[in-house]
Amino acid sequence: MRTSRGARVAGALALALWAGSVVGQSNVVVNGGFESGLASWSTTGFFAQGFDFGIDSTAHTGSSAFFGGAIESPGFLSQSIPTSVGATYDLSFWVASDGFLPNQFRVVVNGQTLLTRDDILLQPYSTFHTSFMATSPSSQLQFGFRNDSGSLHLDDVSVAVIPEPEISLLMAVGLGALALVRRRRAASSPSSSGMRGS
């Protein structure tokens, strides 16, 4: 009976820790795949929608993506996202280039430039990752685009909190305890004893 109770406790602990980790990794960006057009996003520094920025069907996944190519200096696509002070976030996204030069691509969070790419040659969608630590309950996420003769495409933007090492450690301990209880339970069962003796 004691072993069964231990197994239930270890299982419940592991499940709770796993669920907390999954919830913590949900994407806080709204409409990161641009399937709802520019909903939840704002733009500055572009000339006109449909000319040097907008939504088209050159998507990484789904049916829509953002394209941007402000002339001579970057135009910006922005969204204010909810964040927790002190938490570290993983920012991932996919970018494609038509190869026209000069071009520039920027990633900025709360005024701090996290990523800069100049003169990206012709490339299909490629994934990029960077990270930042939140300093306020909301963070301003910005992507800068310049392409004097063409455009850069952006799709599948995701921002998710990176679980703290303590959470991952607790989850590992919980799963380890569950495995240990199951091993002891199997070793003490009559069928296991019979198999060892044969």
Question: How high is the pLDDT of residue 9?
Answer: 57
Question: How high is the pLDDT of residue 106?
Answer: 98
How far is the C-alpha of 172 from the C-alpha of 77, rounded, in Å? 39
CB 132 within 8 A of CB 139: yes
Question: How high is the pLDDT of residue 18?
Answer: 44
Question: How high is the pLDDT of residue 175?
Answer: 74
Buried b (16+ CB within 10 A) or exposed e, 108-142: bbbeeebbeeeebeeeebeeeeeebebeeeebebb
Q: Give which of 41, 33, 28 is closest to 155, Cα–Cα.
A: 33
Question: How high is the pLDDT of residue 22?
Answer: 40
Instruction: Print pLDDT tens along the chain (198 aa).
Output: 454 565 555 555 544 554 444 444 699 999 999 999 999 999 999 999 999 999 999 999 999 999 999 999 999 999 999 999 999 999 999 999 999 999 999 999 999 999 999 999 999 999 999 999 999 999 999 999 999 999 999 999 999 998 876 456 656 777 777 777 777 777 776 654 454 444
Query: What single letter denotes the amino acid at residue 37?
Result: G
- In the chain, the DSSP E strands lie at 42-44, 53-56, 65-68, 75-82, 88-97, 103-109, 112-118, 123-133, 138-147, 152-161
CB 14 within 8 A of CB 175: yes
**Domain segments of the chain: what residues?**
2-21+165-192, 26-161
Helices (H), 83-156: none
Strand partners, 133: 88
Q: Does domain 26-161 have CATH number 2.60.120.260?
A: yes
Question: How high is the pLDDT of residue 177?
Answer: 73
Question: How high is the pLDDT of residue 104?
Answer: 98
